[in-house]
Amino acid sequence: MKKFIAAALAASMFTLPAFAAEVKVGFVTTLTTGGAVIGKDMENAVNLASAHMGGKMGELDLNVIFADDGFKPETGKQATDKLVKQDDVDFVTGYIWSHVLLASRKSVLDQGKFLISANAGPSEMAGKLCHENFFSTSWQNDQTPEAMGEVLNQQGVKSLYIMAPNYAAGKDMVAGVERTFKGEIKGKDLTKWGADAQLDFSAELAKAKASGAEGIFVFYPGAAAGAFVKQYQQAGLKDILPLYSVFTIDAISLPKLQAANFESVLGSKTTQQWDPSLKNEQNKRFVTEFKARYGSYPSFYAAQSYDAMFLIKSAVEAVGGDLTNKDGIRAALKTANYDSVRGKYTYGNNNFPIQNFYLREVVKDNDGNWTTRVASTVFENNQDSHAKDCSMN
Amino acid sequence: MFGTLSRSSKLTLLALLVLAILPPIFIWTGNSFYVDLATRLVILAIAAVSLNLILGYGGMISFGHAAYLGIGAYAVGIPAHHELYGGFEAIASFGGFTHIFLAVGISALFALITGAICLRTKGVYFIMITMAFAQMLYYLLVSLDEYGADDGLVIDARSEFPLINLDNSLQLYFVCLASLAAAMLIVRTVVHSRFGMVLQGAKGNEERMTSLGYNVYAYRLVAYVISGAMCGFAGALLGNFTTFISPEMMAWSRSGELMFMVILGGVATTLGPLLGSAAFIIIEEAFSSYTIYWHLPFGLMLMAVVLYTNGGIMGMKFKWRSPSAEKGTQENGTK
Amino acid sequence: MDTSLLIIQTLNGIQLGLLLFLVASGLTLIFGILDFVNLAHGSLYMVGAFFCATLTFALGSFPLAVLIALPLTGLVGYGVERFVARKLYAKDHLQHVLGTFGLILVFDTLTHMIWGPQGISIPLPAWLDTQVTLMKDVVFPTYRLLIIVSGLVCAAGLYWLVNHTRLGMLIRAGASNRTMVSALGIDIKTLFALVFAIGAMLAGLAGMLIAPITEAKIGMGNEVIITAFVVIIVGGIGSVKGAFIAAILIGLIDTLGRSFLDDVFKLFMSSSAAETSAPAISAMLIYLLMALILAFRPQGLFPPMVR
């Protein structure tokens, strides 16, 4: 018991109100379990952004506090509570997983803080749960698969089998591709997700093959991507059941697939709002220096995290460092007046980006590394379909 | 004024007193997060106290006790969810008494049904079958799309009681603390009753109790139901505290953590479960804010506790032990 | 439902069952002979996979990597026995569960520190990365067939070891009466260490076999260990035969449940609700099976003769 008192008192000493002029940003991501591979990439991007800003936002020192969600909604919510209540951060950002973001949103918004998603874009938060203090630097979950559905229509694919993990984002992805794809859905499987996610897809792949579909649409982010692609190849499905994926074949999975020599992913296509090959100054600098510093291509998770930091910076500078001016910060965030690595975009009524979506293709770069490049533009200035359910104007 | 109390009772009262004084200080110094931490600690302590009744005093090693935490939390979340969004009129409610009734009632029923089956087995089979029932419940809730399945569900409202406002973190905390004091008192009373003596006797020597004419199975079942109901109550508090329900609450690793709290503190002692959960929460909090590799020192400490102590914190620090703790944790009559 | 799909899914189920058997057989031997509950058995499965992954990249050959990783994993198993398990034998099951729970955390974090968070994909040699046509419309990945064959070979080897060798005789004797074996003047410590190392190698082999399909990943052991416990409880603790039957049974239930349960559910619920519940319910079936078997046979299908 004495220890408890001592620890508690010691802790309270450390947290007397600090008067240093700084802006505190809480960054919630996955730093343990298999999901940590994504979290690491985001952390790298944030550190790079901080270096590019010289550690300052306007006159204020930048202080980023990273927190681990352990790939679980409950842990993520706890981590968020701590950032908001104990560290008293001004902005909370990060969030890879939709279910973690959904669990954590009230903890941030009820305290009047700003919440900026650097990845997750659950449909609920674009629609009826939209909030004036919530912004996204990524996309609404449905948009990317909607773009893929459109690509499938253009390519004349008549029937599809769908596989995705069984959590908030997985369900959004399925809804997205079903919304735009005009052909027949031959079947779908939602598999166990989380820290103990199902990674052996033998039964599902056998079903997909037997369904007679003309293609397979999948969403397997992070570590599951490698596992899926391998089994897809081992089952010999490349010529029978072409692969159309979103958020699966990316800068996280490609180095691993290249190391294991899975040639079959070369040439495969995926949709996205960003690509390392996009030609704007901010993106060139980001990609080049990320590669120089960390030795690999940045993923879209990294790009969105980098953007989130610069979006916050633009708002902090717009109010001249006066963090109590919430209305000013909100208005500045809404204008998206910063150099995004994806190029210029605007915010819709629900504070999700209205932006372009591209078809990307997996290629070898000049050094022989596997990466992606833009093949074509699928949607221009696309707004998500849930915006109409949002009561904000 | 404490002259007539035993040393253990004095220690327990002191611990509760400290828990009563600290949180207002946290609020006063502007550290409201530590009130949250203390609330979590107290709720888990109630769960650990309930587990200690069957594990410590009764020798029934339940590896599925987190199931009751989950039942309790869902008993708050599901009625509130329906009250907010419609459907299932029969249970839709924000009423705190309805929530508590459901939490305790369903937990007791679940404990009665599963306990009746589990108690037919012995030793490690008992450990595994209790886990099996918890896992079944876990997967059942994972399969329910309506209540968020794997993603869990944010509850936008807390239980409503007359005079008490659970949205106030300090009031919620003192409700939890009062519940903890009540739970410790209940377990202490049960243990020192004739019923408790039979229960502890059966832990040491089942045959003797049977030959003395006691129906050991029935005694154990009653203890199992009391323990489950009590933990269900803790679950209802947990649901109100986190305002979030998720199947994760009843995962097997959570049951393992509850066991760990009981052992760490010292089995079959009144204060042990509280000390164990306090140590657990504080160490977790302290390590995890230093390094993402905090599981390493945590795991090593766990092993050290098992390898080098005999009765957890209570065993290390104090000479005083209750008689039933002497034999350590002889389980459920194997061999 | 067509027959060829049913055959393929049955093969998938058997393959999963045999992997479970490799983990469970070591667990049941350790449990049966040493009366030791080892939750960290799954960590050896993970360690095996990581050793194999590193060696595959170092040596450029998957089969060679397996051959070298096997004794290495056995060595880790020996270390666990020597420095942790041995001190726990005298304690009760509760302490075993907690101590090895701590060991899991240590293994997982060390793996994170050594290999990083990302997990490793193991490349297969080209001759394994193909498919075989077993009969018309039944095309099966060669590698999964190899897992089935290796699993069966291991099962047969273990059967021979337990029933027809001196070591096996001691193991059987130890499982039923430990004091007797030590009274016979057998070096019980060496026997125990040997059993532990064999168990570690079997679990490690399972990890090495699954890694080219999924990947070597932190925490992969924790997913398999609980299922492996279900297997040995259903089969009866200490019984290798029981573990074999239960493993196949559980592999089939899981795979066939995932394959066909959603179609059944769609008959009476919406398509998306069926997709959500079917995998969860098929996972639940395993525990339901265990509870049912224990309710009627409190010591599993093949209880040990003398306890």
Q: A–C: how many Cβ contacts below 8 A?
A: 128
Candidates A14, A29, A31, A85: best to mutate against B (most CBs of B within 10 A) is A85
Residues A327 and A232 in one domain: no
At residue A11 the predicted structure's pLDDT band, cuts being 50, 70 and 90, is low
List, for residues B276-321, the tens digit of each pLDDT value: 999 999 988 888 877 778 889 888 988 888 888 766 677 665 444 4
- Closest-CA residue of B relative to A9 is B26
Averaged pLDDT, A33-43: 89
Find the range with the poorest average confidence among A295-304, B172-181, B257-266, B289-298: B289-298
Residue B332 has pLDDT above 80, yes or no: no
This model of the complex carries an ipTM of: 0.85
Candidates A31, A74, A75: best to mutate against B (most CBs of B within 10 A) is A74
SS3 label, residue C141:
strand
Q: In chain C, what residues touch B55 (CB-CB under 8 Å)?
A: 94
pLDDT at B335: 34
Q: How far apart, in Å, do the first and last CA atoms of chain A sit?
A: 54
pLDDT at A13: 47
Residues A225 and A368 in one domain: yes
Strands C131-135 and C138-141 come out as antiparallel
pLDDT more than 70, % of chain B? 92
Taking a contact as any Cβ pair under 8 Å apart, which residues of chain A between 52 and 111 contact chain B? 68, 72-74, 77, 81-82, 85-86, 98-99, 102-103, 105-106
- Rounded to the nearest integer, the mean pLDDT of chain A is 90
At residue A16 the predicted structure's pLDDT band, cuts being 50, 70 and 90, is very low
Residues A205 and A285 in one domain: no
pLDDT at B43: 97
pLDDT at C167: 85
Residues A164 and A252 in one domain: yes
Q: In chain C, what residues touch A37 (CB-CB under 8 Å)?
A: 116-119
Find the range with the poorest average confidence among B135-149, B319-333, C162-176: B319-333
pLDDT at A7: 54
| Residue A45 is assigned to a structural domain of this protein | yes
Angstrom CA distances, C147 to A233, B128, C242, C306, stand at 17, 29, 20, 34
Residues A106 and A147 in one domain: no
Q: How far apart, in Å, do the first and last CA atoms of chain C sit?
A: 46
SS3 label, residue A277:
coil
Residues A114 and A72 in one domain: yes
Q: How near does any CA of chain A get to the CA of C301, in Å? A: 27
Q: Measured between CB atoms, does B296 come within 8 Å of chain A?
A: no
Give the closest of B36, B152, B282 to A4, CB-based: B282
| Total number of domains in chain A | 2
pLDDT at C210: 94
Rounded CA gap, A105 and A44, in Å? 24
Rounded CA gap, A148 and A180, in Å? 8
At residue A8 the predicted structure's pLDDT band, cuts being 50, 70 and 90, is low
**Residue whose C-alpha is closest to residue B264's, from A75, C35, C95, C140:** C95
Q: In chain C, what residues touch B64 (CB-CB under 8 Å)?
A: none
| Residue A14 is assigned to a structural domain of this protein | no
Residues A159 and A242 in one domain: yes
For C268, other C-beta atoms within 10 Å of its C-beta total 8
- Rounded to the nearest integer, the mean pLDDT of chain B is 87
| B307/C307 touch (CB, cutoff 8 Å), yes or no | no
Region class of B162: left (phi > 0), else alpha (psi between -120 and 50), else beta: beta
List, for residues B148-175, the tens digit of each pLDDT value: 888 888 887 889 998 889 988 899 999 9
At residue A2 the predicted structure's pLDDT band, cuts being 50, 70 and 90, is very low
pLDDT at A220: 94
Q: Where are the alpha helices (DSSP H) in chain B?
A: 7-28, 32-52, 66-85, 96-118, 123-142, 169-192, 194-204, 206-211, 216-242, 252-265, 272-290, 295-308, 312-317
pLDDT at C64: 95
Could you tell me the sign of the dihedral formed by the alpha carbons of A86, B153, B227, B65, in that order?
A: negative
Q: In chain B, what residues touch A8 (CB-CB under 8 Å)?
A: 22, 26, 34
At residue C2 the predicted structure's pLDDT band, cuts being 50, 70 and 90, is confident
List, for residues C126-177, the tens digit of each pLDDT value: 888 888 888 878 889 999 999 999 999 999 999 999 889 988 888 777 766 6
Give the H or E element holding residue A217: strand A215-218
Residue B325 has pLDDT above 70, yes or no: no
Q: Measured between CB atoms, does A240 come within 8 Å of chain C?
A: no
Decide which of B14 and C91 is more confident: B14
| B248/A73 touch (CB, cutoff 8 Å), yes or no | yes
CATH number for position A33? 3.40.50.2300
Decide which of A351 and C175 is more confident: A351
**Burial grade of A345 (CB within 10 A; 0-12, 13-18, 19 or more):** middle
Rounded CA gap, A205 and A200, in Å? 10
Region class of A116: left (phi > 0), else alpha (psi between -120 and 50), else beta: beta
Q: State which amino acid sits at residue C134.
A: L
**Residue whose C-alpha is closest to residue A380's, from A352, A359, A349:** A359
| C93/B127 touch (CB, cutoff 8 Å), yes or no | yes
Residues A189 and A136 in one domain: no
At residue C117 the predicted structure's pLDDT band, cuts being 50, 70 and 90, is confident
Measured in residues, chain A has a length of 393
How many alpha carbons lie under 13 Å from residue A56 in its C-beta half-sphere? 9
Residues A36 and A93 in one domain: yes
Q: How near does any CA of chain C get to the CA of B135, in Å? A: 7
| Residue A8 is assigned to a structural domain of this protein | no
pLDDT at C277: 81
pLDDT at A317: 95
- Closest-CA residue of A relative to C108 is A33
pLDDT at A17: 45
At residue B146 the predicted structure's pLDDT band, cuts being 50, 70 and 90, is confident
Averaged pLDDT, A95-121: 94
Residue B322 has pLDDT above 60, yes or no: no
Of the spans B73-77, B86-90, C136-140, C233-237, which averages the highest pLDDT? B73-77
pLDDT at A302: 97
pLDDT at A88: 92
Residues A228 and A133 in one domain: no
Find the range with the poorest average confidence among A36-40, A277-281, C114-118: C114-118
| Residue A5 is assigned to a structural domain of this protein | no
Strands B244-245 and B153-154 come out as antiparallel
Strands A346-347 and A353-364 come out as antiparallel
Decide which of B231 and C185 is more confident: B231
Please say whether the beta carbons of B240 and B159 come within 8 A: yes
At residue C1 the predicted structure's pLDDT band, cuts being 50, 70 and 90, is low
Residues A195 and A148 in one domain: yes
Domain B7-325 has CATH 1.10.3470: yes
pLDDT at B317: 52
**Residue whose C-alpha is closest to residue B130's, from B106, B103, B110:** B110
Could you tell me the sign of the dihedral formed by the alpha carbons of A226, A228, A234, A239, in that order?
A: negative
- Cβ neighbours of residue B334 under 8 Å, at least 6 residues apart? B122, B123, B124, C93
Candidates B51, B135, B335: best to mutate against C (most CBs of C within 10 A) is B135
Q: In chain A, what residues touch B29 (CB-CB under 8 Å)?
A: 12, 16
**Which range of residues forms the domain containing residue A343?**
19-141+279-354
Averaged pLDDT, B325-332: 40
Decide which of A363 and C175 is more confident: A363
At residue B241 the predicted structure's pLDDT band, cuts being 50, 70 and 90, is very high
Residue B324 has pLDDT above 50, yes or no: no
